[in-house]
Amino acid sequence: MLLTWIDEGLTAPHRDDEGYLFDRLDLSRVALACDQHYRMGLEHASLPIILSLLDQLHDARHHLRAMTRAVAEQADHVRNEIARHVAGTGGDVEDL
């Protein structure tokens, strides 16, 4: 099954003359695919969709963390304006 996942691009380990070289991200994707396929019983055809959605969620969380750090570095009045805008009701920075 692993070779099929590699062929289909679910994971993309580096390859050299001795074989495949899996980095931490590759190992995580293989473990997740195994968990979904073998333990949760998801069909093989569903894995690309599920992994794509999880990749999108991971990216969104990364961007949200970056935005949160950027907002935290702003002056109080800027953070309060952002909080009011996000809340749409005039919230305060503690509401973020």
Residues 83 and 53 in one domain: yes
* Residues 6+ away with beta carbon under 8 Å from 55: none
Predicted TM-score (pTM) above 0.85: no
User: Domain range holding 3?
Assistant: 1-42
Alpha helices in the chain (DSSP H): 2-7, 24-34, 47-72, 76-87
Residues 62 and 85 in one domain: yes
How high is the pLDDT of residue 89?
A: 64
The one-digit pLDDT tens for each residue of the chain (96 residues) are 899 999 998 999 999 999 999 999 999 999 999 999 999 999 988 999 999 999 999 999 999 999 999 999 999 999 999 989 988 865 455 544
Domain count, the chain: 2
Query: In this structure, what are the phi and psi dihedrals at residue 85, rounded to the nearest 5 degrees?
Result: -65, -45
